[in-house]
Amino acid sequence: MKKTICLLPGDGIGPEIMAQGVNVLEACAKKFGHQFTFTHALLGGAAIDACGEPLPAATVQACQAADAVFLAAVGGPKWDNLAPQLRPERGLLGIRKALGLFANLRPAMLFPELAGACLLRPDIAAKGLDLIVLRELTGDLYYGEPRGREVRDGQRVGYNTMIYSEEEVRRIAVVAFETARKRRKKVCSVDKSNVLETSRLWKEIVEETHASYPDVALSHLYVDNAAMQLVRDPSQFDIILTGNIFGDILSDEASVLTGSLGMLPSASVGSTGPGLFEPVHGSAPDIAGQDKANPLATILSAAMLLRLGLDMEGEATAVEQAVRQTLADGFRTADIMESGKTLVGCTAMGSRVLERL
Ligand code: NAD
């Protein structure tokens, strides 16, 4: 297959980890007989330095013209004192909006080889942790109107609006059920329908959408219980489907359980057009340019790009297996180092994965 992938290396460790991700994609193309064309565009601090803005129009065009977008990370102290609309992170929000990405998938997976880093009790971790938090990204309290601050009866008040339309809920529910079909076929929808009207509509629409997916098991949890169950027994979850604010909190909770920031990939997708695939971590300016960064979150994001962005399941699995084998063979970057293992840098870690691919 011929596919175009737009690369956004960004700032800090971005170019280093991106290089390893691209090596893996190229090796995959060779192994499976595909032809990947890579286009390059500027985002974040790199774009500010070259063009004076974090998201140049040319970058939006390059992303829209691609089959998938692969991003490393943006930001750094050099740009911290700029006005908010000129900061690197603004480029990130802008490209998500320009591509209409309403669904954010954050897998939390515990590699048995890294069980020592897991924050859970060993008997809980032993039951396994392999779930995806699917968070709605463009609605809810963060964007609802009216919002504001004012004085009422002599008191300062602040207010926001929690709001979802049925179409916003339906389209993310479809992503949840479709994703579950490719995994263990379980969706747990998380809301607060005992208290919130928005959540009651959410639950209703998720149930209506479920009628077209009888092969997927659907359950519901209140968000407070979900937060507790994630720590008590995360092995019960496959896909956790939830709104923007609950998802913001639960996705961080789920991912931190694994204990390894340098291992966490993510994907953002819309209804049409290319998806965006990126590691969860930032640009790690403290270790930039030192060949110390862990490239595995980026390589695992490349696997998500293959699976969800290009519909290449076998290729994605091959990449994930190469990562697992690399860990099983004892190679570790500094952030996940344990005694008795072999310390490697960013480039060497990428090469070890390539050898196993
Ligand atoms: P960070 O994720 O960049 O770093 C936090 C800590 O984790 C640092 O000690 C760093 O060295 C370490 N770390 C992160 N990724 C690593 C990797 N792959 N391998 C080894 N160690 C790794 O978060 P921060 O320090 O809060 O932010 C730094 C910059 O990144 C800021 O400008 C911030 O705005 C930006 N940021 C960008 C994104 C993104 O591009 N999606 C996300 C978060 C933060």
Q: Name the residue of 283, 292, 300, 332 to mutate for ligand 1: max ligand atoms within 8 A of Cβ.
A: 283
User: What is the pLDDT confidence band of residue 259, given thresholds at 50, 70 and 90?
Assistant: confident
Atom of ligand 1 nearest to the CA of 10: 40
| Mean pLDDT value across residues 24-46 | 97
Q: Tell me the C-alpha distance between 196 and 31, whole Å.
A: 51
| 317 CA distance to ligand 1 middle (Å) | 27
What's the Rg (C-alpha) of the chain? Answer: 21
| Whether the CB of 76 sits within 6 Å of ligand 1 | yes
Q: Which two tokens stand for residue 173?
A: 């529910």
| Mean pLDDT value across residues 1-8 | 97
User: What is the pLDDT confidence band of residue 260, given thresholds at 50, 70 and 90?
Assistant: confident
Give the pLDDT of residue 15.
98
| Whether the CB of 73 sits within 6 Å of ligand 1 | yes
The pTM score is: 0.91
Q: Is 1-99+273-357 CATH 3.40.190.10? A: no
Q: Does residue 297 carry a pLDDT above 90?
A: yes
User: What is the pLDDT confidence band of residue 333, given thresholds at 50, 70 and 90?
Assistant: very high
Q: Tell me the C-alpha distance between 168 and 351, whole Å.
A: 42
| 82 CA distance to ligand 1 middle (Å) | 19
Q: Which two tokens stand for residue 139?
A: 């609605």
Give the pLDDT of residue 256.
86
Q: Which CATH architecture has domain 108-261?
A: 3-Layer(aba) Sandwich (3.40)
Q: Does residue 112 carry a pLDDT above 90?
A: no
**Nearest CA among 213, 194, 215 for reference residue 203:** 194
User: Which residue intervals of the chain bear CATH 3.40.718.10?
Assistant: 1-99+273-357, 108-261
- Within a 13 Å sphere around the CA of 352, how many CA atoms are in the beta-carbon half? 22
| Whether the CB of 291 sits within 6 Å of ligand 1 | no
Give the pLDDT of residue 239.
98
Give the pLDDT of residue 117.
81
| 252 CA distance to ligand 1 middle (Å) | 14
Tell me if residue 75 falls in helix, strand or coil: coil
